[in-house]
Structure 1
Amino acid sequence: MKPKVYITRKLPDQIVNGLSGNFEVTMWQDETTPVPREVLEKEIVEVDGLFCLLTEQIDESLMEKATNLKIIANMAVGYNNIDLQSATDKGIMVTNTPGVLTETTADLTFALLLATARRLVEATGYLKSGQWKTWSPMQLTGQDVHGATIGIIGLGRIGKALAKRAKGFDMNLVYYNRSRKLEEEKELGIEFVSLEELLKISDFVCVLVPLTSQTSYMIGAEQLTLMKKTAVLINTARGDIVDERALYQALVNQEIWAAGLDVFEEEPVPLDHPLLTLPNVVTLPHIGSASIATRMKMASLAAENLMAGLTGALPGNLVNPELTSVQKGRGHS
């Protein structure tokens, strides 16, 4: 009997066909709507492998129902939607899809920085609403990017890729990270500073750390107060890293100049969210990795992880390495 796999969102045929040859595959058939919790609770009972997205909360109570579950393949770099400790305790492998979305997400981060600095979304609305009557000296003026100081919070893969793009704009580069990256400092000409110093001197503050208990609300009222009144905050990491209420107040009170956000504490963001009312906030629907090529690579890598975990191999992107061999997964002899 083939191992059973459940996929929580409709995927392209070439991804599904690659799994169907080896497994009994069931898939939620909607491309745009997450699988309802009650459906997932029912479907997960007998599956050996789960292919999921960030939109699914894979918690302990759900895993308790999955008596055969051996691997959870998350189609994302982050995995804060999964109770990793519970999975590890139950011998369930958890994998992610790092690396393949680095350059695409860095592209989007820099694009969001440019759009926010130069007020591109606001200018488009200005034109389309018929407000553009003539050229005016200070009309829709923004902030220069070239020659400005960019502060990167989190110099991981994406942070490093962003720094390379910033160098092309002759920006001054500083970063804050849990630990210093001496090789990257030499390679990129980027300077390590404290978080407090980064916030004080940066014209653009880019948040690129993973969401953990240590980074939750890492940027709050106290941190925003340190920033320049002309500074721009960019967040393409996770919404919970920035205190949105504090950010709204900082923008309204002109403590900082603008913000560009691809992520929110609640997603999809409610349409009555205060940040959506501000003209100096550029908002995107979590599209950091949304290029056709990259999303296909992410899906393929998640499928490869799943297949490895269910065929006796060790997945290449195991995020709970305490499970040092597949034999420690439940159900393997």
Structure 2
Amino acid sequence: MKIVVADSIFLTEEYRKRLEALGELEIYDSVPVSQEEFIKRIKDAEVVIVGRYGVNARALRSAPKLKMISLWQTGFDNVDLETATESGVIVSNVPSYAFDSVAEFVFALSLDLLRRVHLADMNLRKGLFDWKYYVGNQLMSKTIGVLGTGEIGKRVIEIAHGFNMNVLSVTAHPSSDKEKALGIKFVDLDTLLLESDIVTLHVPLTPETEHIIGARELAKMKPTAVLINTARGKVVDEAALIEALKEKKIAGAGLDVFEKEPLPMDSPLLEMHNVVLTPHIAFLSEESLDECTYMSIENVEMFIKGKPQNVVNSSVIKG
């Protein structure tokens, strides 16, 4: 069994040894600079562990021995699942990790925006020491709108209660019992947008959620509100967001994900002072990295034992 770690992931000596015990191991500790390089890395692999690099139809068809892809992440929108299934390739992800890391990062971005931390730091380094430029707002008693009540959304809600915030939420499956248990109020999307001081997104990228926040939705938000996106870049219409920020339809945005990653250096977002930008790192803590690697390797181990787990294209097994 040839196993290829196809791009850069968190891999300690302990985890390396676990992989070596499973078969012939080849490790690449860098992101491929081109599709051709990625294909060259995986062409003879039977199992591929891949982080953020996309696995398209061309790559899949260039790896005839490939039997399994273990994703070092939760999202799987960067894999051509249709082609993988047609080719009989099992794709497994890490569905349950980094809840705390991502939820905490929501408030790191929110506090930075509301208290203008990034501006104060930037200007202090230039010698500007004057408090009146940085009058901000506190989280206490503000309303946060949480779009999605999966594990991360629920953790965000718990932290919000610690700040004594009012919580509104939109979910696909509302119920009075769930509402009571979470201490929130379920509303429709328009109400959430109209009433929230912070809108934070915690939905997967699907055809239904792509551009769920667009020009129409941004126009409904308070001019003093901020948008936080640590989910997937394409759940927000980035062009519409840029326009809303320019026209001051909303006060700011904290963005960890983008429609195109890496964020192009000519993006107008890079010139805006009412935006905090980070390079897809909400999940990035020592604790979550270890958890993700543990599970992605366990996915490989279970596949080799004939008991694949966390499979996102389950029809390949049923077929």
* TM-score bracket relative to the smaller structure: over 0.9
Q: 1:147 to 1:289 in 2, by over 3 A?
A: same
CA shift for structure 1 position 184: 3.3
Tell me, which stretches of 5 or more residues in structure 2 are unaligned?
A: none
Please identify runs of 4+ aligned residues in structure 1 that moved more than 6 A: none
**Match for residue 319 of structure 1 among 294, 312, 315:** 312
Instruction: Report the counterpart of residue 46 of structure 2 in structure 1.
Output: 48
Check if 1:198 corresponds to 2:196. no
SS of the aligned residue for 1:46 comes to coil
- Structure 2 residue identity aligned to 1:115: D
CA shift for structure 1 position 45: 2.4
Aligned length: 317
**Match for residue 67 of structure 2 among 57, 61, 70:** 70
State the distance in 2 between where 1:20 and 1:35 align.
26
Instruction: Report the counterpart of residue 288 of structure 1 in structure 2.
Output: 282
State the distance in 1 between where 2:33 and 2:219 align.
41
Check if 1:89 corresponds to 2:86. yes
Tell me, which stretches of 5 or more residues in structure 1 are unaligned?
A: 329-333
Q: 1:90 to 1:190 in 2, by over 3 A?
A: same
Instruction: Report the counterpart of residue 331 of structure 1 in structure 2.
Output: none
- Structure 2 residue identity aligned to 1:322: S
SS of the aligned residue for 1:88 comes to helix
RMSD: 1.6
Check if 1:28 corresponds to 2:28. yes
Check if 1:38 corresponds to 2:31. no
State the distance in 2 between where 1:272 and 1:247 align.
16
State the distance in 2 between where 1:71 and 1:187 align.
39
State the distance in 2 between where 1:224 and 1:135 align.
31
CA contact (8 A) 2:72 2:94 kept: yes
SS of the aligned residue for 2:134 comes to coil
Per-residue CA deviations over 1:144-199 (Å, capped at 9, x if unaligned) read 21111110111111000000000111111111122225543221111111111111
SS of the aligned residue for 2:241 comes to helix
Q: Output aligned runs, 1:1-333, within 5 Å.
A: 3-10=1-8, 11-30=11-30, 33-34=31-32, 36-54=34-52, 56-132=53-129, 134-136=130-132, 139-180=133-174, 182-315=176-309, 317-324=310-317
CA shift for structure 1 position 115: 1.1
Per-residue CA deviations over 1:37-77 (Å, capped at 9, x if unaligned) read 212212322211110012x2212222112222221110111
CA shift for structure 1 position 89: 2.5
CA contact (8 A) 2:6 2:42 kept: no
Q: 1:39 to 1:66 in 2, by over 3 A?
A: same
Q: Percent identity?
A: 37
